Amino acid sequence: MSRKIKLCLVYRDMWQSSGKYMPHVEQLVRFSEAIVEMGCFARVETNGGGFEQINLLYGEDPNQAVRQWTRPLRDAGIQTQMLERGLNGIRMTPVSKDIRKMMFQVKKAQGTDISRSFDGLNDVRNLKLSIDYAKEAGMISQGCLSITHSKVHTVDYFIKMADDLIEMGTEEICIKDMAGVGRPVSIGKIVKAIKERHPHMLVQYHGHSTPGFSVASSLEAARAGADIIDVGMEPLSWGTGHADLLTIHAMLTDAGFELPEINMQAYMKARSLSQEFMDDFLGFYIDDYNRRMNSLLIGPGLPGGMMGSLMADLENNLSSLNKWMAKKGKEPISQDELLIRLFDEVEYIWPMMGYPPLVTPFSQYVKNVALMNVMQMLKGRERWSLVDDNTWDMMLGRSGRLPGELAPELVALAKEQNREFFDGDPQDLYPDELDTFRKEMADNGWELGEDEEELFELAMHPAQYRTFKSGQAKREFEEDLANRKSEASAPVAASSNGNGHAQPKTLNINVNGQNYHVHVSYGESNGNGAAAAPAQTQASAPAAVGGSLKELTAPLEGTFYHTKDPQGTARKVGETINKGDVVGYIESMKVYNAIAADQAGVLAELMPNGKTVEEDDVIAKLN
């Protein structure tokens, strides 16, 4: 007799693994109708992970998006699931207990049935509250094994972790192969052992297709007893996403499993809707690299869910790096060269950093440090010369226990910088703070929202929520989208002069030995082929040193903040600064980098809070 197996469409993850944003709420609701018509899905991943932040970033209310998007699916009997990060909730940094508890209550009220909870270090201590809070709120608790491949991440390691989570009370297990580097036979062994030890435990397999193992892994998981397999759909399957529904369905049917039939007319409708959303605006935030599978990622093991942001980070940092190279009269490097250097560096430093599973947020941390190492070494500086505070927290134990040992040189560097290691329960480091945010809502006259969901949004994503409420997020998104659309419709490197001859839009020029990359404006045509205004060139010269003031410059590009959190105390003009004192933070690639003074003095000027900076911009001046 054939065994039934179910399918889950990971629609949120499909978008996050490809680019930066999710569809608008009205687009999601339209898509839900097609999912219901397809008739083959038992579950859909609707929210969690980056869903909340990206809605706020383009100026929409994520709470209404969750409510409206999940309703038609649940009405049709399709379960909805979210992804949450344990100690970090649904953001990149740790969250207090009261906010974590509120999250499950709010998301259940909004229509999410299942909480897929994972810890980025596989430290089960960080998942105990997620299991308890999910069940208290009436959600199904699904505990994750974050799969990676190393000498410490063995089959026995994952079997024990599953035992621990089940003993803690989780009701389901997810095999979360976020980078697709789990070897198929090992995946089968893990699933088989869980089913033998816990026969009634539901097991769901989630694997990204990036290095090419996931189809075989899906089959091995199914044969070993998995109950549900996660899939993607064209035009966002494969690449850094997930194996396609049609492939997995055909494979499992051939293997003798019983699956619901696919309504292909509805499938084509859903496929065309996703393409329509990409043509509307989402495609402008999807890098072509993320539509390709790449076996080079077997080594560094970077996950599909962060590849969308990785390529954006790479683009920004490549531009910054090549500006620096031009200033020094050096040849620029290509994106491919930087990408391969990054992969090699991740593979080199990952064991040194204690083998943290490369899943959000720690995949970001390892990637960020690797990228900073590569860029610093290209500039003749030392490895580890720019390590952000979030990464230090991970290595010091403030986010949980590392699976492996920290390299001696990093232990020595921590001591040199007077950093303290921590071996207690990480949650103890983050006291309750919901009342602080409740007061901020009252002070601003902001409504708490249905089920206090607006309060939750501020507490979970303070910076993004404030820019959302001010309208700044929507303005910046619309400006950025307009620029991307304009660039996409413009010639790549040339402009017509009206007579059919190409004229350069960019030039590299040298003035008194200083290289500049300049943009050339030709003005508007008067209709007769002549320019209405003379040609102009624009270039940014290096900042001049103001008198005897000593300048502190940005070591990387990003957004400059006076403090890392709202409760922090900002530096004030007139304050005495010692060498090594932190004067502010640059948020880049989702982490905060402390900017320390390289000399002593009295603070004379400080860049405004929240200002975008490029490398070498002056952020402070000292007398």
Q: What is the CATH number of the domain that holds 554?
A: 2.40.50.100
Query: Would the pLDDT of 520 be above 60?
Result: no
The answer to whether residues 499 and 616 belong to one domain is no
Q: pTM here?
A: 0.79
Q: What is the pLDDT of residue 309?
A: 60
More confident residue, 400 or 299: 400
The answer to whether residues 504 and 610 belong to one domain is no
Q: How confident is the model at residue 311 (pLDDT cuts 50, 70, 90)?
A: low
How do residues 555-566 score in pLDDT, each as one tens digit?
A: 877 888 888 776
C-alpha 307/C-alpha 74 separation (Å) is 30
Range 469-492 average pLDDT: 89
Q: What is the pLDDT of residue 310?
A: 67
- Residue 476 inside a domain? The answer is no
Classify each residue of 57-73 as buried b or exposed e, where b means 16 or more C-beta atoms within 10 Å of its C-beta.
bbbbbbbebbbbbbebb
Q: What is the pLDDT of residue 527?
A: 35
Query: Would the pLDDT of 417 be above 60?
Result: yes
C-alpha 161, offset from chain centre: 25
Domain boundary among 286, 315, 332: 286
Query: Would the pLDDT of 500 be above 50?
Result: no
The answer to whether residues 164 and 199 belong to one domain is yes
Range 44-64 average pLDDT: 92
Q: What is the pLDDT of residue 231?
A: 98
Cβ-count burial of 537 within 10 angstroms (0-12 exposed, 13-18 middle, 19+ buried)? exposed
- Residue 12 inside a domain? The answer is yes
C-alpha 232/C-alpha 15 separation (Å) is 10
The answer to whether residues 60 and 98 belong to one domain is yes
Query: Would the pLDDT of 501 be above 60?
Result: no
Average pLDDT, rounded, for the chain: 86
Query: Would the pLDDT of 303 be above 80?
Result: no
Q: What is the pLDDT of residue 461?
A: 94
The answer to whether residues 594 and 518 belong to one domain is no
- Residue 447 inside a domain? The answer is no
Query: Would the pLDDT of 522 be above 60?
Result: no
What is the token pair recorded at 75? 């009405």
Query: Would the pLDDT of 513 be above 70?
Result: no
- Given CA atoms 401, 405, 407, 413 in this order, what sign does their dihedral have? positive
Closest Cα to residue 210, out of 82, 311, 333, 86?
311
Q: How far apart are the first and last CA of the chain?
A: 82
Q: What is the pLDDT of residue 312?
A: 66
Q: What is the pLDDT of residue 546?
A: 43
The CATH number covering residue 268 comes to 3.20.20.70
Domain boundary among 538, 572, 599: 538
Give the angle subtended at the CA of 555 by the CAs of 551 and 560, to the nearest 5°: 80
Q: What is the pLDDT of residue 570?
A: 86
Rounded alpha-carbon distances, angstroms, from residue 56 to 85, 94, 107, 468, 474:
19, 19, 16, 6, 8
Dihedral (Cα; 47, 49, 50, 55), 10-degree rounding: 30
* 484: amino acid identity, one letter: R
Q: How confident is the model at residue 138 (pLDDT cuts 50, 70, 90)?
A: very high
More confident residue, 604 or 316: 604
The answer to whether residues 117 and 186 belong to one domain is yes
Q: How confident is the model at residue 338 (pLDDT cuts 50, 70, 90)?
A: confident
Q: What is the pLDDT of residue 466?
A: 94
- Give the three-state DSSP class for 459: helix
- Give the three-state DSSP class for 386: coil
Tell me which of 18-22, 196-200, 256-260, 357-361 is least confident.
357-361
- Residue 468 inside a domain? The answer is no
- Given CA atoms 265, 270, 275, 280 in this order, what sign does their dihedral have? positive
The answer to whether residues 526 and 570 belong to one domain is no
Range 384-390 average pLDDT: 87
CB 78 within 8 A of CB 43: yes
The answer to whether residues 521 and 571 belong to one domain is no
* 239: amino acid identity, one letter: G
Q: How confident is the model at residue 11 (pLDDT cuts 50, 70, 90)?
A: very high
Range 601-609 average pLDDT: 89
The range of the structural domain enclosing residue 52 comes to 6-286
Q: How confident is the model at residue 534 (pLDDT cuts 50, 70, 90)?
A: very low
The answer to whether residues 525 and 574 belong to one domain is no
The number of domains in the chain is 3
More confident residue, 65 or 554: 65
Question: What are residue 4's DSSP bridge partners?
Answer: 258
- Residue 354 inside a domain? The answer is no
Query: Would the pLDDT of 589 be above 70?
Result: no
Q: What is the pLDDT of residue 399?
A: 93
Question: What are residue 514's DSSP bridge partners?
Answer: 511
* 171: amino acid identity, one letter: E
Range 350-362 average pLDDT: 88
What single string gives the DSSP state of each residue in 490-526?
S-SSEEE-SSS-EEESEEEEEETTEEEEEEEE---B-
The DSSP call for residue 242 is B
Query: Would the pLDDT of 489 be above 50?
Result: yes
C-alpha 398/C-alpha 388 separation (Å) is 14
Query: Would the pLDDT of 355 be above 90?
Result: yes
Give the angle subtended at the CA of 90 by the CAs of 85 and 94, to the nearest 5°: 70
What is the token pair recorded at 32? 């839900």
Tell me which of 7-21, 51-65, 338-352, 498-512 is least confident.
498-512
- Residue 223 inside a domain? The answer is yes
- Give the three-state DSSP class for 550: strand
Domain boundary among 503, 538, 573: 538
How do residues 254-292 score in pLDDT, each as one tens digit?
A: 999 999 999 999 999 999 999 999 999 999 998 887 788
The answer to whether residues 567 and 499 belong to one domain is no
The residue with tokens 């040199």 is 416
- Residue 49 inside a domain? The answer is yes
Range 34-48 average pLDDT: 97
The answer to whether residues 203 and 126 belong to one domain is yes
How do residues 177-226 score in pLDDT, each as one tens digit?
A: 988 999 999 999 999 999 999 999 999 999 999 899 999 999 999 999 99
Q: What is the pLDDT of residue 536?
A: 31
Backbone φ and ψ for 564, nearest 5 degrees, come out as -85, -20
The answer to whether residues 503 and 606 belong to one domain is no
- Residue 370 inside a domain? The answer is no
